Structure 1
Amino acid sequence: MNFKSNTFSMHPKYKRNLKRALSFGVIWFIFGLVYALLEYGLLGNSGLYPTTGNIYEPLNSFLFTLSSSFLIGFIQGWIEITWLRYKFRKKPFLIKIFFKSIFYLLFIILFLVAFTLVTNASIMKKGIFEAEIITSLTDFITSFAFWSLVFYMGVIIYLALFYSELIEHLGNEVLYNYSFGKYHKPKQETRIFMFLDMKSSTTIAEEIGHIKYFNLLKLYYSYMTNAILETFGEIYQYVGDEIVVTWPEEVGLLNNNCIECYFKIEEAIKKHEERFIKSFGLVPEFKAGYHIGKVSAGQIGVLKKEIVYTGDVLNTSARIQAECNNYNTRILISGQLKDGLSNSKNWDMDKKGEIVLRGKTEAVELYSISR
């Protein structure tokens, strides 16, 4: 994707939802194609469905099966991503899958009934509610063929939901990279890293208790989601009270996305400060360190595979973040990143000093950013 020429006319959140809903459509399309091919392999040019006696036309069957499969998948994906997953977010995996499967299966049975009416009416060139069409529908839904189709769709529903849960745990980019082997062999990239750390986290955990502190972290991270999406960031790691967000160089520098991410997170936390105070008696504060540089990216692990970035840029980002307390500032960035950013009227930048990392001779200049 060319980020320089893209106008980002659609909000990143909706773009992400659309892509995920379309992926459901693709899953259903593939299974629909398999079904249509199997059906043609069994029926060929016989001209009739043996169970119901309805007319079988291969071309029409292919068109209807593929289009309806994609449509069902897209509708399921959109319902799942924008509504139903929120209803079951706190439920165990098996309970979520069970109740969601029942919901979608009932929806699909109704869809199949409507689809059969329309298809048969089109093939027989009769009205939907004419006696012959209703009879053909009744014959179909009371046949083994219908319930075998329902079972087949139930399997697709389960696989689509499993895919959705996998995406929730791994993230879109990670699953995409695994699937297409982007990092099967190590490659070098230039990336921006933001290490964002909660202030006084140890003290907070001791004051409110570790269970309550864990719930604080869940809420704290959840309110960051839109800010990271809107600035096209990728969550690399959660390390306790610290989150590491990364951007490819071009994406992070475009419109100063990487810096804007921090301020959007700040706005999100401030917007919900009443909830934090009511639930935990405090509003979390945080600080961030930024750096840009080359990393080696690749897939490692045997028992548990993971895409890992290695390089000085990560150590430097972490060290810069640790210097925030010494300079009494919330954001510190390296001179290298400062040189790549565009001028902005939204914030001011001041040089604070420099640090020399262990084993290095060249100092890293530090700049603070404030509104």
Structure 2
Amino acid sequence: MKITPKAKRNISRIIPFAIIWLLIGWLIDITVFDVTHEQNLNSDTGISYTIPVLIFASLANVLAGLIIGVLEVVYLEKRFSNRSLRAKFFYKFLIYLSLFIIIIILFYPVASSLETGISLLEVDSWQKLGRFLISISFLITLIQLSVKLMVGLIYSAISENLGHQVLLNFFSGKYHQPKIEKRIFMFLDMKSSTTVAEDLGHVKYFKLLDTYYNIMSDPIINSFGEVYQYIGDEIVISWNPSKEINQTSCIKCFFDIRDHLDEQKEVLFHEFGFEIGFRAGIHFGEVTIGEIGALKKEIVFTGDVLNTTARIQSLCKELKSDLLISGAIKELLPHSNYQYSSKGEIELKGRNKKEELFSVTLEKKPTIANTM
């Protein structure tokens, strides 16, 4: 079964939680193992740090991290999206801590059974659990859990706000030294945004933008696109053509966003009183990518391709097209279900060389005549 782009993205976001829990667990367990030398300093409630117990603890940490990751990425992230960072952190912490107290109650007897060899059916296993829950050992376990939860939630907050791929690039140091890459860019701009902003007022307009960008999320993910920037009502999306994407993914992304907006058209009109449309320009070329900034670090793209894409997008209204692509993009595209109409060679502001532009529409399916 083929894994969808969204599922791949979610998996790549969930795995770091398991790694965080495993590494912190190892740090704590190995430290205690080294201090105690396999001796149980609190035999009445504690569990000795033997090799089997350490292996079990490692597996438990990976499982716990995966549970946190799935809950965070798939369920809780959206449900707390309107909360402040402090509120998100507090409520999620309480939810996860409560969950793991329940898991401890369920799995403590298993670890105790591994250590002592006493069957889970024996009363002694469960009596030891009762003593554990009112002991200093349980308090230490809660502290260890809290540390793991806090590190995991900090990672989640940074990933959510900075962007998962950007965070990975920072950690890996991929762009610590500037690199030259070929990239596809799409500049997508809302129609009549000035009028909409004036009529709605800046607070409600801000809410509209948030809704507008959320609607775009799935089409961008499904096309393997990366959001480079939000600039007011404009969004800049990037694709790396060397990755496992079809070259028409950028075109498909445009039409998928349009379809998603059409599906939400009545809801948007009811809430904001406007039908929201957009125009986009797409171009392809070399950019320099690197970390930049003194007071605040960012991974930045520089190059003529960005300016050219912005100018292509700005010509959409004049050339009466919702989607314009450059000749460079047209050359990349295989035969597809799109129609391309040349707008001629256009002189773009700030460039000496003219660029042939094409409008793009969906290819009309032939209709079958009714002969009856």
TM-score range (shorter-chain normalised) is over 0.9
Given that residues 320 and 333 in structure 1 are in contact (C-alpha distance below 8 angstroms), is that contact kept between their aligned partners in structure 2? yes
Change (3 A) 1:40 1:57: closer
Separation in structure 2 between the aligned mates of residue 55 and residue 211 of structure 1, nearest angstrom? 56
Q: Taking every aligned residue pair, what percent have the same amino acid on both sides? A: 38
Match of 2:200 in 1: 208
Match of 2:342 in 1: 351
Separation in structure 2 between the aligned mates of residue 57 and residue 209 of structure 1, nearest angstrom? 62
Where in structure 2 are the equivalents of 1:1-371 lying within 5 Å?
9-46=2-39, 48-52=40-44, 56=48, 58-251=50-243, 254-345=246-337, 347-358=338-349, 360-371=351-362
Q: Say which SS state the counterpart of residue 21 (structure 1) adopts.
A: helix
Residue 43 of structure 1: CA displacement? 1.6
Separation in structure 2 between the aligned mates of residue 358 and residue 275 of structure 1, nearest angstrom? 39
Residue 49 of structure 1: CA displacement? 4.3
Residue 35 of structure 1: CA displacement? 1.6
Residue 211 of structure 1: CA displacement? 1.6
Change (3 A) 1:160 1:26: same
Residue 355 of structure 1: CA displacement? 2.0
Residue 38 of structure 1: CA displacement? 1.2
Given that residues 178 and 289 in structure 2 are in contact (C-alpha distance below 8 angstroms), is that contact kept between their aligned partners in structure 1? yes
Match of 1:5 in 2: none
Given that residues 357 and 363 in structure 1 are in contact (C-alpha distance below 8 angstroms), is that contact kept between their aligned partners in structure 2? yes
Given that residues 45 and 137 in structure 2 are in contact (C-alpha distance below 8 angstroms), is that contact kept between their aligned partners in structure 1? no
Separation in structure 1 between the aligned mates of residue 47 and residue 13 of structure 2, nearest angstrom? 36
Scaled by the length of structure 2, what TM-score is found?
0.93
Change (3 A) 1:368 1:253: farther
Given that residues 13 and 226 in structure 1 are in contact (C-alpha distance below 8 angstroms), is that contact kept between their aligned partners in structure 2? yes
String of CA shifts for 1:286-322, please: whole Å, max 9, x gaps.
0000110000111111111111111110000000001
Q: Show structure 1 runs of 4+ deviating over 4 A.
A: none
The one-letter amino acid paired with 1:43 is T
Residue 127 of structure 1: CA displacement? 2.8
TM-align CA RMSD: 1.6
Separation in structure 1 between the aligned mates of residue 45 and residue 215 of structure 2, nearest angstrom? 57
The unaligned stretches of length 5 or more in structure 2 are: 363-372
Separation in structure 2 between the aligned mates of residue 224 and residue 279 of structure 1, nearest angstrom? 18
Scaled by the length of structure 1, what TM-score is found?
0.94
Separation in structure 2 between the aligned mates of residue 283 and residue 53 of structure 1, nearest angstrom? 64
String of CA shifts for 1:34-77, please: whole Å, max 9, x gaps.
1220121122143x343526662521121011100110111011
Separation in structure 1 between the aligned mates of residue 253 and residue 168 of structure 2, nearest angstrom? 23
Separation in structure 2 between the aligned mates of residue 262 and residue 351 of structure 1, nearest angstrom? 19
Match of 1:4 in 2: none
Change (3 A) 1:365 1:252: farther
The one-letter amino acid paired with 1:292 is F
Given that residues 311 and 349 in structure 2 are in contact (C-alpha distance below 8 angstroms), is that contact kept between their aligned partners in structure 1? no
The one-letter amino acid paired with 1:283 is E
Separation in structure 1 between the aligned mates of residue 92 and residue 49 of structure 2, nearest angstrom? 34
Separation in structure 2 between the aligned mates of residue 52 and residue 35 of structure 1, nearest angstrom? 21
The one-letter amino acid paired with 2:182 is T
